[in-house]
Structure 1
Amino acid sequence: MSNYQVREAIVDLLVRIEQDSGYSHLLIDHEIKSRKIPPRDEALLTEIVYGTIQRKMTLDYYLDSFVDKKKKIKPWVRMLLRMSVYQMVFLDKIPDHAIIHEAVEIGKHKGHKGIASFVNGVLRSIQRKGIPDTSAIESESKRISIETSHPEWMVKRWISMYGVEVTHDMCQANLERKVSSVRVQPLKITRKDVMDELNSLGFETRPSEFSDQGIIIDKGNVLKTRLFAEGYLSIQDQSSMLVAEMLDVEPEMAVLDACSAPGGKVTHIAEKMQDKGTIQAYDLHKKKAKLIDRKAELLNLSIIDAAEGDARKLQERHQPESFDRILVDAPCSGLGVIRGKPDIKYNKDEEDIERLAKIQLDILNHVAPLLKTNGLLVYSTCTVDKEENNEVVKAFLNSNPDFSLDESFMEELPESIKKSPGVTEAGVQLFPQTFYTDGFFLTRFIKR
């Protein structure tokens, strides 16, 4: 496949992601398989697609100086300009003349000579004059918004919650490549054996402080190893591993995971229980509940009973005080995982956050009676928004006087997290810039 064909595939993919509000990671995977993109081009395709989405607002700011605002541009032409400017400004491996030449060829092939000439004119002007300076933007929130390509309502919201410095660092971290991490299946293999095998294959690894099953991969693709294919390890962000660690489970317990798919946390819980006891795992969608079954099967775990079910209706299926431990890893805005799913930031608004906070509180209130006295309930989200985290925690405690925050939770946290800036009276907020994990919140309640 020629460079030109790869880039035309990228334009089509970017338009589809934007128009369908599709999840970029799923569409990229589908495109690579369906178009049979050669392995040598996979990394470039992924980098250009993610980079163009991640920096969309910045790229539009640059283009606004060179494109007449009154001119109507077809979505694919704008996308072609965005991805070309992204390569010119943010990638240094491809010379400008090659980028411009390929953009002009795509303009001809997908459109006509007039479009090719327009694309050529815009890109040559940018090459000649350089991109506009963002430091001229006076409003702090606007400048952070444009420089890091986050909607301004989001930037203002985070500034009101965390201040300018934390917000700026968080937005900047969302543009950087995420460190990958895996979790070892300890009933099948030790962490040391996995690290030794990966290191012998040329990987660069180090142990995670968040979980004694966690490994950080600084270099290498574990998806292509036998260890992954044969269920010796799972891909999981370190922040997510913290959930099973803090649920404090033991073998033979009865556990409820109320919002379980795709199954990373529940399989970790089963491993911590040494595959002894019972875990009821629910997801709203039957298809997603089957994902949990598949993951458990690959990891040789037998105690997970996964089923379709609304977390707000589980009292219809279980008696009060049925469970020793409950996990509510609630549906949320996902504003902590922007680094890996950059399209999220353009597809959310403040009404989504309000709606989700109500659902989160409904779920907590509904499952609370299912916990045994002295049992523990962990509440977690992959967002950094206080309305979904701290405010939900306060509202839950106000309406459930038999629950309180578990004081020993903070003592059991890894030492580095105890000292991190996100520790509050409501729980732990992990920011993407602190440990280069997902942005993540968790806390633990005890029932008296």
Structure 2
Amino acid sequence: MSARALIIGAPRSGSGKTSVTIGLLRAFARRGVKVRGAKTGPDFIDPGFHEAATGLPGLNLDSWAMEPDLLRHLARAQAQDAELLLIESAMGLFDGIRSDRNRTGAASDLARQFGVPVLLVLDVSGQSQTAAAVAYGFAHYDSQVKIAGCVLNRAGSERHRSLCSEAIAEIGLPVLGTVLRDPNLGLPERHLGLVQASEHPEMNAHIDRLADAMEAALDLDAIFEAAQPFDVAQGTPAHALAPPGQRIALAQDAAFTFLYPHLGRHWQDAGAELVPFSPLANESPPQDCDVCWLPGGYPELHAGALAAAENFRSGMQRFAEVKPVHGECGGYMVLGEALEDAEGEMHRMTGLLSHQTSFAKRKMNLGYRQATLLADSPLGRKGETIRGHEFHYARVIAPGTDEPLATIADGLGKEIGFSGGRRGHVSGSFFHAIARG
């Protein structure tokens, strides 16, 4: 393997990791470096930004949800034929759940397991020499996690930059650049985090602005040299989620966007064909497909259009009479009887399952999940355990009368209860599947 790799980490969310990562990806791509991005943990959105910055597919690498063998397989594939792999950390560098060593979901797991050094992004707003104490703590917290250098973010002035960088240099860590405070470098957000790259009308121009800022502020040569050869042992896809069918009708538009990149890629590598259709364009799933998959997304923002899509609804009903249909999170909401939007208006959905959901009566659900299937479904066989994630504000306001799809536990194994529903060929839940347990 010829790739070098570097983790972009930080003490916490909101430090500017995503902006720095996206800017670096585009800046290196401009130089002719074949650079790819990856994101630790279950974040859906950032891999889309990585792809927008490089023109190459993004990827999630999740040390909790993915068995080490699968993690190695996916990491090697992402680095294949690349010169540089930038891995963006979720949350803080060491933030994960209590679990077996290197199975916590934290980016530090990958630093240890794969020997990848870390470029530490420090938001120095509101501090100066104290930044050196934070950097010192990161450099000495875990001897197996190497901090290769720091990037200072949101410095207020040249004097501020000097105070921080000189203090960090005294503890033996190089500062590889400083990004001055600039509100124009922020990315737009909404209730599930950042607005997706595909939805931002001027995303390419914004990524160029980020790249301009990183080129002006950071030492790209030193950052490239800080990355180390990515020498990862061969893995296998044995624990990957199997294709649910040979031809998969995949809902794909502004309401249905959250399919993990590694799932679609593995299904295609295994010989399956993804056949996209758009419910918002009133398209129905092609009847010659073997299975229909409704991924997560933002149906609550498009509930009126989905309710008016008669051809989509009738086509779904015809398909479900004879073939499997599965919905995840937003897809699960659309499979129900009705969806209440943020303004409290109820909208008719497909009615393939009998529950009702609401975005008006919000409650955040967030965390890793282990789902044990109670029947065969597109997710797997009865009794199998699937690892995944939930992140949604919508809630079930009428549970309906369907049989549950699975029993779920949290990432620590604590029982939560039944999840989702199943009726005939139809199944769904708020649970997003990542890999087989």
**Larger helix share, 1 or 2:** 1
Query: TM-score band (shorter)?
Result: 0.3 to 0.5
**Larger strand share, 1 or 2:** 2
Give the structure, 1 or 2, with the largest relative contact order (CA under 8 Å, sep 6 or more): 2
Q: Please say which structure displays the higher CA radius of gyration.
A: 1
- TM-score normalised to structure 1 length: 0.34
